[in-house]
Amino acid sequence: MSSSVERALHVLVELADGPITISEVARRLEVHRTTSLRLLRTLEDEHFVRRTADGRYRIGPRMVTLAHAALEGLDVRSAAGSHLRELGAACGHTVHLAGLEGGQVMYLDKVESRHAVRMYSRIGALAPLHATGVGKAILAAMSKQERSSLLGAEPFGRYTSNTRTTHAALESDLVQAAALGWVLDDYEHEEFIHCIAAPVRDASGGVTAAVSISAPGFVLDRPGLLSLVDDLTTTATRISEELGWDSP
């Protein structure tokens, strides 16, 4: 890489922290002031940086456009793939990635369990928001009004005796999920399957998907499932960071 290109990239990295002066650029790059001025003017001509009224420089509109294009081009399934496989290898149980599709969730990716008993879920299949861990993880990030609009009139469809079929019953789960950062599916979609799920965030902080660990109760009991919460939330955070989210 040529020294000029390398320096220009360093300038943009420095500007990411906020507006700076020509002299500050020179000091941080360890170059003469005239060199930093030349770099900044070249970047300004191409609209990568903009000079402010007080003489400092900041990120310009072309850089903002490129950043948005890069973030929009990120595919959650591609960003999540390696992290899902690592989680599956570590826990040995079924791992799902799901996203919102209309008023339901769609399974975007799946890592199969190492155990003989397999879940019938498949990539591309739709599932109910109110009765799945991934669905509840996505709902928990929404306002009550958004949730109500998506879920529609109650009672919601019942899949097991544990399915939450009213707004009130579901709301207590979602409030807790928002506070904890993860949610439990307590045999609410399938009689013998329970799961934990956590939200995946994009660069804006919005929840765009969710990741889960699922297992039959006779293979993994409640304490065993809950012992995987830290692994799950760490994976969700890593995927979110791949999508541009700046975790606290």
pLDDT of amino acid 69: 62
Count CB-CB contacts under 10 A for residue 142.
19
**Sole residue written with tokens 């990030």:** 141
User: CB–CB of 84/97 below 8 Å?
Assistant: yes
pLDDT of amino acid 232: 98
Q: Is the pLDDT of residue 71 over 70?
A: no
pLDDT tens across 189-229, in order? Answer: 999 999 999 999 988 888 989 999 999 999 999 999 999 99
Q: Is the pLDDT of residue 8 over 80?
A: yes
CATH superfamily of 74-242: GAF domain (3.30.450.40)
pLDDT of amino acid 230: 97
pLDDT of amino acid 222: 96
One DSSP character per residue, the chain reads --HHHHHHHHHHHHHTTS-B-HHHHHHHHT--HHHHHHHHHHHHHTTSEEE-TTS-EEE-HHHHHHHHHHHHT--HHHHHHHHHHHHHHHH-SEEEEEEEETTEEEEEEEE--SSS------TT-EEESTTSHHHHHHHTTS-HHHHHHHH-SSSPPPSSTT---SHHHHHHHHHHHHHHT-EEEEEEEETTEEEEEEEEE-TTS-EEEEEEEEEETTTS-HHHHHTTHHHHHHHHHHHHHHTT----
pTM reported for the whole predicted model: 0.73
Q: Is the pLDDT of residue 26 over 50?
A: yes
Segment 35-51 shows an average pLDDT of 88
What's the token pair of residue 68? Answer: 């948005």
| pLDDT-wise least confident of 8-12, 36-40, 71-75, 125-129 | 71-75
Q: Do domains 3-71 and 74-242 have the same CATH topology?
A: no
Q: Is the pLDDT of residue 110 over 70?
A: yes
pLDDT tens across 76-91, in order? Answer: 888 899 999 999 999 9
> What residue spans define the domains of the chain?
3-71, 74-242
Segment 100-109 shows an average pLDDT of 89
Q: Is the pLDDT of residue 159 over 70?
A: yes
Which has more pLDDT, 10 or 174?
174
| CATH 3.40.50.300 assigned to 3-71 | no
Q: What is the pLDDT confidence band of residue 155, given thresholds at 50, 70 and 90?
A: very high
Q: What is the pLDDT confidence band of residue 72, given thresholds at 50, 70 and 90?
A: low
